[in-house]
Amino acid sequence: MTTLPFWKMHGAGNDFVVLSSEDIQVPWNTLAQQICDRHRGVGADGLIVVLPSKIADHRMRILNSDGSEAEMCGNGIRCLVKFVVDQNYGRPRRNPLRIETLAGVLDTHATLGDDGSVSTVRVGMGTPQLEPAALGALTDKNAPALDLPLELTGVRHEVTLVSMGNPHAVLFCDEPVSAFALDEIGPAIEHHPVFSRRTNVEVVRVHNRHSIEMRVWERGVGETLACGSGAAAAVVAARLHDLVDDYVEAKLPGGILALEWDGQGDVTLDGPAVKVFESEW
């Protein structure tokens, strides 16, 4: 029987099982479903597998709790960086540490705490893609798609489409996001036929030009306490609507993430990476 050492980790409450696999071959999709089960497994939003890379320092695979594979994960990549740096994998003190993902190679910068371990990680999330085709959205609307109308059970919702290497549909509301029926509207949008690859869903309330609050329905997972790529997409959407400036703090149920985007080029994300415990599966 194969034994898999792992760390349980989280980034602003978005939690993961993280493990390294250079030689081990297992059915990762099945393992993700089993190990992420909160009743019969470890419990997590996703499984992160650290692999060797020929074009970067490490390669990341991120599998959702339903076994589907995501292109990228902003909170997950911060956890991966802490995992490899704190255990001295590869070139641990190199900044930037370059991570290969299905969304491309991303640069990360780790900040060490007083105990010498990684406390926060800054991630270059890449340049947002605004063409609906980048999300697999079946629409004739031109980029940027700021107000794509969706009919859900007779109610019209308008979403802004942003790809951060993975698809996002962003809704803005005037009410506190805690009052928004995300458990109903989130899955309805995720599985809406306009999205050929399904989509992540963010509901956002803008407080001022430097602060937003938001909740996220993640494709293949459900509602999570935080989503790094979702926060990036929300800030991009808000700036496209001229609701925020270059620097924004996004308040999510699991914590606060800091983001910067000047309307061009890459979005940067800064947030915590926390080890909860380590064990074996």
Find out whether 235 and 209 touch, Cβ atoms under 8 Å. no
Q: 24 vs 272, which has greater pLDDT?
A: 272
36 is catalytic: no
Residue 253, φ and ψ in degrees, nearest 5: -55, -30
Report the pLDDT value the prediction gives residue 153, as an integer from 0 to 100.
77
Question: All domains of the chain, ordered by start, with CATH?
Answer: 5-123+271-280 (3.10.310.10), 132-265 (3.10.310.10)
Report the pLDDT value the prediction gives residue 1, as an integer from 0 to 100.
56
Residue tagged active-site, from 36, 79, 173, 227:
227
Residue 250, φ and ψ in degrees, nearest 5: -105, 120
Taking alpha carbons only, the member of 74, 135, 134 closest to residue 106 is: 74
The answer on pLDDT for 25 being more than 90 is: no
Q: Distance between CA atoms of 106 and 184, rounded to whole angstroms? A: 34
Residue tagged active-site, from 36, 73, 79, 173:
73
Instruction: Report H helices in 8-163.
Output: 28-35, 74-86
Find out whether 268 and 123 touch, Cβ atoms under 8 Å. yes
List, for residues 127-142, the tens digit of each pLDDT value: 999 999 999 999 999 9
pTM (two decimals):
0.93
**Percent of the chain with pLDDT strictly greater than 70:** 97
> For the residues 1-30, what does the mean pLDDT come to?
90
Query: How far is residue 247 from each of residues 80, 107, 172, 188, 254, measured CA to CA in Å?
Result: 25, 19, 18, 31, 20
Cis peptide upstream of residue 272 (ω within 30 degrees of 0)? no
Report the pLDDT value the prediction gives residue 90, as an integer from 0 to 100.
60
73 is catalytic: yes
Q: Distance between CA atoms of 89 and 53, rounded to whole angstroms? A: 13
Q: Distance between CA atoms of 168 and 200, rounded to whole angstroms? A: 5
Strands (E), 102-179: 104-112, 118-124, 148-152, 155-163, 167-172
List, for residues 158-188, the tens digit of each pLDDT value: 999 999 999 999 999 999 999 999 999 999 9
> For the residues 197-205, what does the mean pLDDT come to?
98
Taking alpha carbons only, the member of 249, 149, 167 closest to residue 204 is: 249
